[in-house]
Chains A and B, each alone.
Chain A
């Protein structure tokens, strides 16, 4: 929950195109309201409900533990007049709550506690210490949980202390611990930094979310098993303890290896690359709770998927996860924003609405209230969403919540693929690094229109794959509610990635002669060019002109200035829209040969073209304008661009 220094990363990604920008936020929340409604749970004025944990008791009353050390039990939490009763007080910032066998269980900063109301007066009498652990006295010594395992054992996670950087000042800060009801403790996994959200899936596997910070490039979710090292080395300080499940030492982790977490995990077997990255500032800034959709469709079409809260952005993300070659990975999407305060906890009510518990004290959030309790209810209306995104060895398979417009869905240009990753280092956060444009070469729509199989170029293991589909419509005509997914690709089915590389910086020995790239003025132009023209770009895959008029037969000196932040070229095609469409199609077919050909196909339909230009570079070509008047076209044939990035060249 630290403030990010990496504003640059935000700006960088927003420029990618269709991402949600600041002024759209409320508009997005308004759109989302049609499908998922946020309802306040009224809180009495004298109750400071800084939510730390949520749990229902066996009477369908909602227990809420608070950062000020109270546990409130709310009767009739679904109605307009919930009744609050204080069940316990004086606790040490309990940031978790659970209920079992007539007792609430919670993690205080320094212990796991069972609270029992023995005399039935609605107030706990017994504050039983199940297990206590040391504390350093640092404010950042937060403790979370418990979650119950099937056998009744409990899991808790312990935050690192903060001394200008995260630090495990005492045992077992930065660890996941298992504790039996009898108070026997076993350390399970470490590498944790700020593990406020964790949960257990139907198979009994444990996942936790992490906040950007030192050693943590961006928000992420990691699968924890016994002996897993999740990435922040501070907790390894205790790996020499006899009950430590791993022996890896803190100083074995290089502070600045120059590698990504995925790459470093290939060197250090205990290190586990995340199953999901939540790109910082795009999908939250401080991920928190995880809940699984166990509503069997009562909450909409996302049965079995995960919802992940975000404290700083007061929003909820959605995660589709799959297991490929035994490794968890998947995609995350924006889901619902506009909550009143910083989301720390989420919990299903018996009516299959989601209770959302919030606090923003000390870490301000987009929702301005200091604390809050709200419910998220499905209105019953089906949103048009990317329901799932599965990895293939050469692409992705998308499933949608509604049948798609097949014409749009089958056009590869409808999809934009970008891959990127982050550094793994001791520094707080990371820039987005190694960003590369991928492309969708083919899109095959299923007969029922509910799924599409994409063949992609430029997929990379260990990278985040941003897939944007801003123009896609359902058969009903509506656009996707959230048009971007982020897939963290650790594995592909079968184990061998078959997506061709798109690397522009991969050196090629091929020297292909492209005579239509006329960068030298023809000797025949004895008097030089008759007209000079400069074309630039505008954000969002556009040239800065939509139409250019030139007299027939003009000797034109045309400069293309790529002032965008991505690769572009400029290609002049023959008369007619069918010509430019065909050039775009042929460009995609270049596949792996695209970079060497500047993504320009060898066809009569191309008259002249520039090379593929890096951002902030320009190139001048000399164009003999045809003698035949008509509507010619200027187009960028970089994969994914040609259907949008066009301008008319009208020869008069």
Chain B
């Protein structure tokens, strides 16, 4: 949604309110949400045209399948959209993109076969390692997401390598998501390096692996030994098979939006909505070179700050503004047009995004910060533009995202036997309130929604971060899995369906009486959960899979009606030869091989695949494992 399409509102502040109302009316009738990021450039994988010519080990395929039982074995299926590398002794060259880059933000998905090895080389020089590091306890620089060592040549000590902070690797054969922000080295006019290259951020499967990590020179097996402002992106071809898809990026220049001639007027205001400023006299007007919530004066002030001035815009193009407030109101007007209006009480998680097309040069702006809550302070305005990385227009300290956070995180650790902890747990953006998290000594953990009787998450590594529950009042009250985790569908796991076409309900239907019965620990300290649905009693017990990273579930059903169980859903579910299913999106396997009498079905409903199994009336047991 581009707010500049809306009718222009007058700059008069007293009219801001009515403009807002209009905007929100439009919002309600439109399902379109404002963009939260400017679009990426996609490297199309319809053919090899985006790459420099290379050997035939590099191909475009429709999908990739890694055999989980064989070393470095991968096959591709006909189609487009996936880049696959299947090297042999003769054909094993690297792959270079046609485009060259300096500063870049890049995202892609990668699939590693068992024990395979490859690498992502920024500018053809600085490597983020690709490796099948699944299950490794202490990752090294040579594991997936590690920044590889540099060569130690001519007496010059190369970069020493950097291990990822955590091992976020998924099991071989699953797609894994990388997000990397890389900055090229900087040079003066004589070509002398003034700043090392650095990785601002490297994330794998959502986990932060590196932050602001400097790299002193090219890493081992780089295509070039020198350092340059620009270079092609390279994928290593000679170490093993790998598949890659969804490559998208933004190239950044070293330019910024800046503030010009800013004045700030400060008003007394206790109202949650904007007052009619025409009728008010400011208590002070000052010239300033920065915008900050800290400029509201007084002890625990309730003030309205109005900034006016110009933005110096470095390039023609679309600019996306991101306005964040901590229990306050605010508005941004660009060129006399209300771009963002948050007139009321808004918090950090309330979106304040808008995009506007701007010309190079100076454009007037006005920013309102209505600090009506005396206890809260916080304002952030950030902007992203064409070839411009997202930057803050507000001063350091204007907002403190860490406010109230403790010096040390509060963790629940697992000892010699399973441990449980009830709490609120987020699942796909929703707070689940009756969740029990279970940590097991084997290092496999899961979260179970007692209200729905459903498994919602599984993970391995550290167990649970309860800082948000147990620090001070614990405003968020969240128990957070302390490691990369797989989210399962989260709907009630068992339902009575009229037939196999009935839509699976995402909450407990009104005609169903579902009762939690609690849980009981056995001699091994493992809990078995029980609940009752319209008289049918269901128990659930989970233990780690012995040989793999996975969770084995045993469910008993005792009832007088036929009932259905939803095992999984995803954009795509595929049956593999060995009674195993691969679930897309979250990317995990379901191994259903332990059940002789039950036959799951894959059905396509409401744009997604579902894996269901029907259980006849009487007593029954289901066994399966999920593996990630």
Interface residues of A (CB under 8 A from B): 67-69, 89-93, 108-111, 113-114, 123-129, 132, 134-139, 141, 164, 183, 361-363
**Smallest distance from the beta carbon of B245 to chain A beta carbons, Å?**
36
Contact assessment for A91 and B422 in the assembled complex, using a CB-CB cutoff below 8 Å: yes
Contact assessment for B518 and A90 in the assembled complex, using a CB-CB cutoff below 8 Å: no
Besides the known contacts A69-B422, A129-B517, 11 further A-B residue pairs in the complex with CB atoms under 8 A apart: A90-B422, A90-B436, A110-B451, A111-B516, A113-B518, A125-B521, A128-B517, A129-B516, A132-B451, A137-B477, A183-B515
Interface string of B604-623 (1 = CB under 8 A from A): 00000000000000000000
Query: Which of B433, B434, B450, B473 touches A363 (beta carbons < 8 Å)?
Result: B473
Q: Within the assembled complex, what's the spacing in Å between the Cα atoms of A619 and B569?
A: 86
Give 23 pairs: A residue, B residue, CB < 8 Å, sorted on A: A89-B419, A89-B420, A92-B422, A109-B433, A110-B433, A110-B451, A111-B434, A111-B516, A123-B521, A125-B520, A126-B518, A127-B519, A134-B433, A135-B433, A136-B433, A137-B477, A139-B474, A139-B475, A139-B477, A183-B515, A361-B470, A362-B473, A363-B473
Q: Within the assembled complex, what's the spacing in Å between the Cα atoms of A89 and B472?
A: 20
Q: A111-B434, A125-B521, A127-B518 are in contact. Are A137 and B422 (CB under 8 A)?
A: no
Q: A139-B474, A139-B476, A139-B477 are in contact. Are A132 and B433 (CB under 8 A)?
A: no
Contact assessment for A108 and B422 in the assembled complex, using a CB-CB cutoff below 8 Å: yes
Interface residues of B (CB under 8 A from A): 345, 419-424, 431, 433-434, 436, 450-451, 466, 469-470, 472-477, 515-522, 527
Query: Which of A69, A125, A137 touches B433 (beta carbons < 8 Å)?
Result: A137
**Smallest distance from the beta carbon of A106 to chain B beta carbons, Å?**
12
**Smallest distance from the beta carbon of B475 to chain A beta carbons, Å?**
5
Q: A90-B422, A137-B431 are in contact. Are A126 and B520 (CB under 8 A)?
A: yes
Contact assessment for A110 and B420 in the assembled complex, using a CB-CB cutoff below 8 Å: no
Complex interface: chain A residues within 8 A of B431 (CB)? 137
Complex interface: chain A residues within 8 A of B476 (CB)? 139
Q: Within the assembled complex, what's the spacing in Å between the Cα atoms of A108 and B431?
A: 17
Complex interface: chain B residues within 8 A of A109 (CB)? 433
Number of A-B contacts (CB under 8 A): 75
Query: Which of A69, A110, A136 touches B421 (beta carbons < 8 Å)?
Result: A69
Complex interface: chain B residues within 8 A of A124 (CB)? 521
Q: Within the assembled complex, what's the spacing in Å between the Cα atoms of A124 and B451?
A: 22
Complex interface: chain A residues within 8 A of B518 (CB)? 113-114, 126-129
Residue of A nearest to B345 (CB): A164
Complex interface: chain A residues within 8 A of B419 (CB)? 89-90
Complex interface: chain B residues within 8 A of A114 (CB)? 518
Interface majority SS (helix, strand, loop, mixed), chain B: strand
Complex interface: chain B residues within 8 A of A89 (CB)? 419-421
Contact assessment for B472 and A362 in the assembled complex, using a CB-CB cutoff below 8 Å: yes
Contact assessment for A361 and B472 in the assembled complex, using a CB-CB cutoff below 8 Å: yes
Q: Within the assembled complex, what's the spacing in Å between the Cα atoms of A327 and B516?
A: 40
Q: Within the assembled complex, what's the spacing in Å between the Cα atoms of A145 and B419?
A: 25
The 6 closest A-B pairs by CB, nearest first: A90-B420, A362-B473, A135-B433, A92-B422, A137-B431, A129-B518
Complex interface: chain B residues within 8 A of A91 (CB)? 422
**Smallest distance from the beta carbon of A94 to chain B beta carbons, Å?**
10
Residue of A nearest to B430 (CB): A137
Residue of B nearest to A134 (CB): B433
Residue of A nearest to B272 (CB): A164
Q: Within the assembled complex, what's the spacing in Å between the Cα atoms of A114 and B423?
A: 18
Contact assessment for B421 and A135 in the assembled complex, using a CB-CB cutoff below 8 Å: no
Residue of A nearest to B466 (CB): A68
Complex interface: chain B residues within 8 A of A108 (CB)? 422
Complex interface: chain B residues within 8 A of A93 (CB)? 469
Residue of B nearest to A119 (CB): B523
Complex interface: chain A residues within 8 A of B474 (CB)? 139, 362
Q: Within the assembled complex, what's the spacing in Å between the Cα atoms of A475 and B433?
A: 61
**Smallest distance from the beta carbon of B65 to chain A beta carbons, Å?**
41
**Smallest distance from the beta carbon of A359 to chain B beta carbons, Å?**
11
Complex interface: chain A residues within 8 A of B527 (CB)? 127
Residue of B nearest to A67 (CB): B470
Complex interface: chain A residues within 8 A of B475 (CB)? 139
Complex interface: chain B residues within 8 A of A134 (CB)? 433
Q: Within the assembled complex, what's the spacing in Å between the Cα atoms of A441 and B516?
A: 64
Complex interface: chain A residues within 8 A of B520 (CB)? 125-127
Complex interface: chain B residues within 8 A of A183 (CB)? 515
Complex interface: chain A residues within 8 A of B436 (CB)? 90
**Smallest distance from the beta carbon of B531 to chain A beta carbons, Å?**
9
Residue of B nearest to A126 (CB): B520
Q: Within the assembled complex, what's the spacing in Å between the Cα atoms of A138 and B424?
A: 9
Residue of B nearest to A363 (CB): B473
**Smallest distance from the beta carbon of A16 to chain B beta carbons, Å?**
29
Q: Within the assembled complex, what's the spacing in Å between the Cα atoms of A3 and B345?
A: 21
Contact assessment for A135 and B472 in the assembled complex, using a CB-CB cutoff below 8 Å: no
Q: Within the assembled complex, what's the spacing in Å between the Cα atoms of A124 and B527?
A: 12
Q: Within the assembled complex, what's the spacing in Å between the Cα atoms of A90 and B424?
A: 12
**Smallest distance from the beta carbon of B479 to chain A beta carbons, Å?**
9
Q: A110-B433, A139-B475 are in contact. Are A92 and B423 (CB under 8 A)?
A: yes
Residue of A nearest to B516 (CB): A129
Q: Within the assembled complex, what's the spacing in Å between the Cα atoms of A476 and B422?
A: 58
Complex interface: chain B residues within 8 A of A135 (CB)? 424, 433-434
Contact assessment for A132 and B472 in the assembled complex, using a CB-CB cutoff below 8 Å: no
**Smallest distance from the beta carbon of A49 to chain B beta carbons, Å?**
14
Q: A111-B434, A127-B519, A164-B345 are in contact. Are A139 and B473 (CB under 8 A)?
A: yes
Complex interface: chain B residues within 8 A of A123 (CB)? 521
**Smallest distance from the beta carbon of B342 to chain A beta carbons, Å?**
16
Complex interface: chain A residues within 8 A of B421 (CB)? 69, 89-90
Q: Within the assembled complex, what's the spacing in Å between the Cα atoms of A111 and B515?
A: 11
Residue of A nearest to B519 (CB): A127
Residue of B nearest to A140 (CB): B473
Complex interface: chain A residues within 8 A of B515 (CB)? 129, 132, 183
Q: Within the assembled complex, what's the spacing in Å between the Cα atoms of A183 and B513?
A: 13
Complex interface: chain B residues within 8 A of A363 (CB)? 473
Complex interface: chain B residues within 8 A of A132 (CB)? 434, 450-451, 515-516
Q: Within the assembled complex, what's the spacing in Å between the Cα atoms of A363 and B475?
A: 12
Q: Within the assembled complex, what's the spacing in Å between the Cα atoms of A138 and B474?
A: 10
Residue of B nearest to A111 (CB): B516
Complex interface: chain A residues within 8 A of B345 (CB)? 164
Complex interface: chain A residues within 8 A of B477 (CB)? 137-139
Residue of B nearest to A138 (CB): B477
**Smallest distance from the beta carbon of B362 to chain A beta carbons, Å?**
40
Q: Within the assembled complex, what's the spacing in Å between the Cα atoms of A128 and B433?
A: 18
Q: Within the assembled complex, what's the spacing in Å between the Cα atoms of A137 and B517?
A: 21
Complex interface: chain B residues within 8 A of A92 (CB)? 422-423
Q: Within the assembled complex, what's the spacing in Å between the Cα atoms of A111 and B519?
A: 13
Q: Within the assembled complex, what's the spacing in Å between the Cα atoms of A69 and B474?
A: 14
Query: Which of B434, B469, B517 touches A110 (beta carbons < 8 Å)?
Result: B434
**Smallest distance from the beta carbon of A69 to chain B beta carbons, Å?**
6
**Smallest distance from the beta carbon of A264 to chain B beta carbons, Å?**
27
Complex interface: chain A residues within 8 A of B424 (CB)? 135, 137
**Smallest distance from the beta carbon of A67 to chain B beta carbons, Å?**
8
Residue of B nearest to A136 (CB): B433
Residue of A nearest to B472 (CB): A362
Q: Within the assembled complex, what's the spacing in Å between the Cα atoms of A136 and B431?
A: 9
Q: Within the assembled complex, what's the spacing in Å between the Cα atoms of A139 and B431?
A: 12
Q: Within the assembled complex, what's the spacing in Å between the Cα atoms of A136 and B424?
A: 10
**Smallest distance from the beta carbon of A152 to chain B beta carbons, Å?**
19
Q: Within the assembled complex, what's the spacing in Å between the Cα atoms of A137 and B424?
A: 7
Residue of B nearest to A90 (CB): B420
Q: Within the assembled complex, what's the spacing in Å between the Cα atoms of A110 and B475?
A: 17
Q: Within the assembled complex, what's the spacing in Å between the Cα atoms of A137 and B519?
A: 22
Q: Within the assembled complex, what's the spacing in Å between the Cα atoms of A127 and B421?
A: 13
Q: Within the assembled complex, what's the spacing in Å between the Cα atoms of A134 and B345?
A: 27
Complex interface: chain B residues within 8 A of A137 (CB)? 424, 431, 433, 477
Which of B422, B477, B519: most chain A CB closer than 10 A?
B422
**Smallest distance from the beta carbon of A340 to chain B beta carbons, Å?**
19
Complex interface: chain B residues within 8 A of A68 (CB)? 466, 470
Complex interface: chain A residues within 8 A of B517 (CB)? 128-129
**Smallest distance from the beta carbon of B438 to chain A beta carbons, Å?**
8
Complex interface: chain B residues within 8 A of A127 (CB)? 518-521, 527
**Smallest distance from the beta carbon of A135 to chain B beta carbons, Å?**
4
